[in-house]
Amino acid sequence: MTDPQTTAPHITDSHCHLDFPDFDGQLPDILSRAAQAGVHRMVTICTRLRNEPQVRALAETHPNVFYAAGTHPMSAAEEPMASVDQLVALARHEKFVAIGETGLDYHYTSESAEVQKQSLRIHIEAAQQTGLPLVIHARAADDDMARILTEGYRAAPYACVMHCFSSSAELARAALDLGFYLSMSGITAFPKSTELRDIFAASPLDRILVETDSPYLAPPPHRGKRNEPAYTAHTARRGAELFGLDYADFAARTEANFNRLFAKAASWQAAA
Protein backbone atom coordinates (compact mmCIF):
# COMPACT_ATOMS: atom_id res chain seq x y z
CA MET A 1 0.00 0.00 0.00
CA THR A 2 1.26 3.46 -0.93
CA ASP A 3 0.56 6.10 1.66
CA PRO A 4 -1.35 9.12 0.38
CA GLN A 5 0.45 12.43 0.61
CA THR A 6 0.00 14.07 3.96
CA THR A 7 1.43 17.17 5.58
CA ALA A 8 0.61 15.94 9.08
CA PRO A 9 3.62 15.17 11.30
CA HIS A 10 4.44 11.47 11.48
CA ILE A 11 3.30 9.56 14.56
CA THR A 12 3.03 5.87 15.39
CA ASP A 13 0.07 3.98 16.83
CA SER A 14 2.07 1.79 19.20
CA HIS A 15 -0.86 -0.51 20.09
CA CYS A 16 -3.90 -1.55 18.07
CA HIS A 17 -5.78 -4.73 17.18
CA LEU A 18 -6.22 -4.80 13.42
CA ASP A 19 -7.24 -8.47 13.41
CA PHE A 20 -10.38 -7.86 15.47
CA PRO A 21 -13.74 -8.37 13.73
CA ASP A 22 -14.51 -4.64 14.03
CA PHE A 23 -12.15 -4.06 11.09
CA ASP A 24 -13.21 -6.95 8.85
CA GLY A 25 -13.18 -5.98 5.18
CA GLN A 26 -12.22 -2.38 5.93
CA LEU A 27 -8.47 -2.49 6.39
CA PRO A 28 -7.48 -0.60 3.19
CA ASP A 29 -9.70 2.32 4.20
CA ILE A 30 -8.51 2.13 7.82
CA LEU A 31 -4.87 2.33 6.73
CA SER A 32 -5.59 5.09 4.25
CA ARG A 33 -7.24 7.26 6.90
CA ALA A 34 -4.34 6.57 9.24
CA ALA A 35 -1.84 7.75 6.66
CA GLN A 36 -3.86 10.90 5.98
CA ALA A 37 -3.74 11.66 9.71
CA GLY A 38 0.04 11.22 9.77
CA VAL A 39 -0.06 7.79 11.44
CA HIS A 40 2.63 6.20 9.31
CA ARG A 41 3.21 3.06 11.41
CA MET A 42 1.27 0.87 13.75
CA VAL A 43 1.91 -2.16 15.92
CA THR A 44 -0.97 -4.63 15.85
CA ILE A 45 -1.15 -6.85 18.91
CA CYS A 46 -2.06 -10.53 18.95
CA THR A 47 -3.76 -11.37 22.27
CA ARG A 48 -4.14 -15.15 21.79
CA LEU A 49 -1.22 -17.08 20.35
CA ARG A 50 -3.49 -19.31 18.26
CA ASN A 51 -4.31 -16.18 16.24
CA GLU A 52 -0.66 -15.34 15.59
CA PRO A 53 -0.63 -16.54 11.95
CA GLN A 54 -3.43 -14.14 11.00
CA VAL A 55 -1.80 -11.23 12.81
CA ARG A 56 1.57 -12.03 11.24
CA ALA A 57 -0.08 -12.02 7.81
CA LEU A 58 -1.26 -8.45 8.37
CA ALA A 59 2.29 -7.33 9.07
CA GLU A 60 3.61 -9.25 6.07
CA THR A 61 0.99 -7.70 3.78
CA HIS A 62 1.28 -4.07 4.84
CA PRO A 63 4.72 -2.39 4.99
CA ASN A 64 3.69 0.06 7.72
CA VAL A 65 2.25 -2.60 10.06
CA PHE A 66 4.37 -4.39 12.67
CA TYR A 67 3.17 -6.90 15.22
CA ALA A 68 3.58 -8.41 18.66
CA ALA A 69 2.06 -11.50 20.24
CA GLY A 70 1.35 -12.88 23.67
CA THR A 71 -1.45 -14.09 25.91
CA HIS A 72 -3.69 -11.35 27.26
CA PRO A 73 -4.15 -11.72 31.03
CA MET A 74 -7.93 -11.88 30.69
CA SER A 75 -7.46 -14.93 28.43
CA ALA A 76 -4.69 -16.58 30.45
CA ALA A 77 -6.97 -19.17 32.06
CA GLU A 78 -8.64 -20.05 28.75
CA GLU A 79 -5.60 -20.41 26.52
CA PRO A 80 -2.76 -22.94 26.60
CA MET A 81 0.10 -21.57 28.69
CA ALA A 82 2.71 -19.99 26.44
CA SER A 83 6.30 -21.14 26.74
CA VAL A 84 9.42 -19.03 26.62
CA ASP A 85 10.70 -21.08 23.70
CA GLN A 86 7.45 -20.51 21.79
CA LEU A 87 7.64 -16.74 22.21
CA VAL A 88 11.35 -16.64 21.38
CA ALA A 89 10.68 -18.59 18.18
CA LEU A 90 7.93 -16.17 17.13
CA ALA A 91 10.27 -13.25 17.79
CA ARG A 92 12.56 -14.36 14.96
CA HIS A 93 10.15 -12.91 12.41
CA GLU A 94 11.51 -9.66 11.00
CA LYS A 95 8.35 -7.69 11.79
CA PHE A 96 7.71 -9.16 15.26
CA VAL A 97 8.75 -6.23 17.44
CA ALA A 98 7.53 -6.86 21.01
CA ILE A 99 6.44 -9.52 23.50
CA GLY A 100 2.81 -9.34 24.61
CA GLU A 101 0.47 -8.03 25.50
CA THR A 102 0.67 -9.69 28.86
CA GLY A 103 0.09 -8.48 32.39
CA LEU A 104 -2.46 -8.66 35.19
CA ASP A 105 -6.17 -7.81 35.19
CA TYR A 106 -7.91 -8.26 38.52
CA HIS A 107 -10.86 -6.06 37.56
CA TYR A 108 -12.55 -8.65 35.37
CA THR A 109 -10.55 -11.83 35.96
CA SER A 110 -9.23 -11.82 39.52
CA GLU A 111 -10.12 -15.49 39.89
CA SER A 112 -7.27 -16.38 37.51
CA ALA A 113 -4.67 -14.23 39.29
CA GLU A 114 -2.19 -17.07 39.85
CA VAL A 115 -2.37 -18.20 36.22
CA GLN A 116 -1.93 -14.59 35.11
CA LYS A 117 1.19 -14.23 37.26
CA GLN A 118 2.68 -17.41 35.80
CA SER A 119 1.97 -16.21 32.27
CA LEU A 120 3.42 -12.78 33.01
CA ARG A 121 6.68 -14.24 34.28
CA ILE A 122 7.01 -16.36 31.13
CA HIS A 123 6.57 -13.30 28.94
CA ILE A 124 9.11 -11.37 31.01
CA GLU A 125 11.66 -14.13 30.45
CA ALA A 126 10.96 -14.07 26.72
CA ALA A 127 11.57 -10.31 26.68
CA GLN A 128 14.81 -10.81 28.58
CA GLN A 129 16.00 -13.47 26.13
CA THR A 130 15.01 -11.66 22.93
CA GLY A 131 15.82 -8.09 23.90
CA LEU A 132 12.39 -7.04 22.63
CA PRO A 133 10.19 -4.75 24.72
CA LEU A 134 7.43 -6.18 26.88
CA VAL A 135 3.88 -4.84 26.37
CA ILE A 136 1.98 -4.69 29.67
CA HIS A 137 -1.75 -4.56 30.37
CA ALA A 138 -2.40 -3.59 34.00
CA ARG A 139 -5.76 -3.17 35.68
CA ALA A 140 -6.62 -3.26 39.38
CA ALA A 141 -3.41 -5.14 40.16
CA ASP A 142 -0.92 -2.37 40.91
CA ASP A 143 0.92 -3.95 43.84
CA ASP A 144 1.46 -7.35 42.22
CA MET A 145 2.33 -5.70 38.92
CA ALA A 146 4.99 -3.44 40.41
CA ARG A 147 6.45 -6.30 42.44
CA ILE A 148 6.67 -8.82 39.58
CA LEU A 149 8.02 -6.31 37.06
CA THR A 150 10.66 -5.16 39.55
CA GLU A 151 11.67 -8.69 40.56
CA GLY A 152 12.07 -9.63 36.92
CA TYR A 153 14.09 -6.54 36.13
CA ARG A 154 16.46 -7.12 39.04
CA ALA A 155 17.07 -10.66 37.79
CA ALA A 156 17.83 -9.48 34.24
CA PRO A 157 17.03 -6.03 32.80
CA TYR A 158 14.48 -5.71 30.01
CA ALA A 159 12.53 -2.96 28.26
CA CYS A 160 8.81 -2.42 28.72
CA VAL A 161 5.83 -0.22 27.89
CA MET A 162 2.82 0.14 30.17
CA HIS A 163 0.26 0.17 27.40
CA CYS A 164 -2.92 2.27 27.66
CA PHE A 165 -1.67 3.40 31.05
CA SER A 166 -4.55 4.30 33.38
CA SER A 167 -3.31 3.00 36.73
CA SER A 168 -2.03 4.78 39.83
CA ALA A 169 0.74 7.32 40.19
CA GLU A 170 2.56 4.74 42.32
CA LEU A 171 2.61 2.17 39.52
CA ALA A 172 3.68 4.86 37.05
CA ARG A 173 6.60 5.77 39.28
CA ALA A 174 7.60 2.13 39.76
CA ALA A 175 7.61 1.63 36.00
CA LEU A 176 9.48 4.85 35.26
CA ASP A 177 12.07 4.01 37.93
CA LEU A 178 12.82 0.84 35.96
CA GLY A 179 13.30 2.84 32.78
CA PHE A 180 9.95 1.75 31.33
CA TYR A 181 7.61 3.76 29.11
CA LEU A 182 4.00 4.91 29.59
CA SER A 183 1.62 4.95 26.63
CA MET A 184 -1.17 7.49 26.25
CA SER A 185 -4.49 6.17 24.91
CA GLY A 186 -7.79 7.90 24.23
CA ILE A 187 -8.56 7.68 27.96
CA THR A 188 -6.05 10.50 28.46
CA ALA A 189 -8.27 12.78 26.40
CA PHE A 190 -11.50 12.01 28.27
CA PRO A 191 -12.78 15.10 30.10
CA LYS A 192 -12.82 13.40 33.51
CA SER A 193 -9.27 11.98 33.24
CA THR A 194 -7.65 14.87 35.12
CA GLU A 195 -5.71 12.66 37.54
CA LEU A 196 -4.39 10.52 34.69
CA ARG A 197 -3.28 13.60 32.76
CA ASP A 198 -1.47 14.79 35.89
CA ILE A 199 0.44 11.47 36.01
CA PHE A 200 1.55 11.88 32.42
CA ALA A 201 2.41 15.56 32.88
CA ALA A 202 4.72 14.59 35.77
CA SER A 203 6.46 11.92 33.68
CA PRO A 204 9.60 12.39 31.56
CA LEU A 205 8.67 13.29 27.99
CA ASP A 206 11.27 10.86 26.69
CA ARG A 207 9.24 7.94 28.13
CA ILE A 208 5.90 8.73 26.49
CA LEU A 209 4.26 6.85 23.62
CA VAL A 210 0.84 7.23 21.99
CA GLU A 211 -1.63 4.55 20.95
CA THR A 212 -5.27 3.83 20.22
CA ASP A 213 -5.86 0.32 21.61
CA SER A 214 -8.37 0.32 18.75
CA PRO A 215 -11.08 -0.72 18.25
CA TYR A 216 -11.53 0.37 21.90
CA LEU A 217 -11.38 3.69 23.75
CA ALA A 218 -11.86 6.21 20.97
CA PRO A 219 -10.81 9.72 22.08
CA PRO A 220 -13.02 12.76 21.67
CA PRO A 221 -14.56 13.72 19.26
CA HIS A 222 -15.17 10.04 18.46
CA ARG A 223 -15.79 8.77 21.97
CA GLY A 224 -18.35 5.97 22.08
CA LYS A 225 -17.62 4.95 18.49
CA ARG A 226 -15.21 2.40 17.11
CA ASN A 227 -11.64 3.54 17.48
CA GLU A 228 -9.08 3.25 14.67
CA PRO A 229 -5.37 4.09 14.21
CA ALA A 230 -6.04 7.48 12.59
CA TYR A 231 -7.40 8.68 15.92
CA THR A 232 -3.94 8.43 17.47
CA ALA A 233 -3.62 12.00 16.24
CA HIS A 234 -6.37 13.20 18.59
CA THR A 235 -4.64 11.69 21.61
CA ALA A 236 -1.28 13.04 20.47
CA ARG A 237 -2.72 16.55 20.15
CA ARG A 238 -4.00 16.28 23.71
CA GLY A 239 -0.54 15.10 24.74
CA ALA A 240 1.08 18.08 23.07
CA GLU A 241 -1.18 20.42 25.07
CA LEU A 242 -0.35 18.55 28.25
CA PHE A 243 3.40 19.00 27.76
CA GLY A 244 3.11 22.56 26.48
CA LEU A 245 4.49 21.72 23.04
CA ASP A 246 3.28 22.33 19.52
CA TYR A 247 1.96 19.24 17.85
CA ALA A 248 4.88 18.75 15.48
CA ASP A 249 7.37 18.85 18.35
CA PHE A 250 5.38 16.40 20.47
CA ALA A 251 4.99 14.08 17.47
CA ALA A 252 8.74 14.16 16.85
CA ARG A 253 9.50 13.42 20.49
CA THR A 254 7.13 10.45 20.69
CA GLU A 255 8.51 9.15 17.39
CA ALA A 256 12.00 9.23 18.85
CA ASN A 257 10.71 7.40 21.93
CA PHE A 258 9.03 4.73 19.81
CA ASN A 259 12.19 4.23 17.74
CA ARG A 260 14.27 3.87 20.87
CA LEU A 261 11.98 1.31 22.49
CA PHE A 262 10.86 -0.53 19.36
CA ALA A 263 14.32 -0.54 17.81
CA LYS A 264 13.52 -3.55 15.62
CA ALA A 265 10.69 -1.66 13.93
CA ALA A 266 12.89 1.40 13.51
CA SER A 267 15.73 -0.58 11.93
CA TRP A 268 13.35 -2.47 9.63
CA GLN A 269 11.93 0.79 8.35
CA ALA A 270 15.39 2.19 7.83
CA ALA A 271 16.41 -0.89 5.84
CA ALA A 272 13.17 -1.15 3.84
**Mean per-residue pLDDT, 235-254:** 97
What is residue 270's predicted lDDT score, i.e. its pLDDT?
Answer: 72
Q: With cut-offs at 50, 70 and 90, classify the pLDDT of residue 7.
A: confident
What is residue 127's predicted lDDT score, i.e. its pLDDT?
Answer: 98
Closest CA to 115 of 155, 158, 150, 144: 144
Q: With cut-offs at 50, 70 and 90, classify the pLDDT of residue 272.
A: low
Give Cβ neighbours of residue 231 (< 8 Å, ≥ 6 apart): 37, 186, 212, 214, 218, 219, 222
Where do the domains of the chain lie? 11-264
The whole-angstrom distance between residue 31's C-alpha and the CA centroid of its chain comes to 18
**Mean per-residue pLDDT, 27-41:** 97
Where do the DSSP E strands lie in the chain?
11-16, 39-46, 65-69, 96-105, 134-139, 160-162, 181-184, 208-210
The whole-angstrom distance between residue 224's C-alpha and the CA centroid of its chain comes to 21
Q: What SS3 class is residue 97?
A: strand
Q: How far apart are CA 198 and CA 268, in angstroms?
A: 35
What is residue 6's predicted lDDT score, i.e. its pLDDT?
Answer: 60
pLDDT exceeds cutoff 50 at 133: yes
What is residue 208's predicted lDDT score, i.e. its pLDDT?
Answer: 98
pLDDT, tens digit (0-9, with 9 covering 90-100), for 93-123: 999 999 999 999 999 999 999 999 999 999 9
Closest CA to 70 of 149, 155, 140, 133: 133
pLDDT exceeds cutoff 70 at 30: yes
Report the percent of the chain where pLDDT is more than 90: 95
pLDDT, tens digit (0-9, with 9 covering 90-100), for 142-162: 999 999 999 999 999 999 999
Among 1-10, 31-40, 76-85, 222-231, the minimum mean pLDDT is found in 1-10
Q: How far apart are CA 81 and CA 87, in angstroms?
A: 11
Q: With cut-offs at 50, 70 and 90, classify the pLDDT of residue 1.
A: very low
Q: With cut-offs at 50, 70 and 90, classify the pLDDT of residue 235.
A: very high
**Mean per-residue pLDDT, 40-52:** 98
**Mean per-residue pLDDT, 43-64:** 97
Q: Which CATH architecture has domain 11-264?
A: Alpha-Beta Barrel (3.20)
The whole-angstrom distance between residue 110's C-alpha and the CA centroid of its chain comes to 22
- With beta carbons less than 8 A apart as the criterion, state whether 90 and 52 touch: yes
What is residue 148's predicted lDDT score, i.e. its pLDDT?
Answer: 98
In the 3-class helix/strand/coil scheme, how is 110-177 assigned residue by residue? HHHHHHHHHHHHHHHHHHHHHCCCEEEEEECCHHHHHHHHHHHHHHCCCCEEECCCCCCHHHHHHHHH
What is residue 255's predicted lDDT score, i.e. its pLDDT?
Answer: 98
**Mean per-residue pLDDT, 8-28:** 96
Residue of higher predicted confidence among 3 and 124: 124
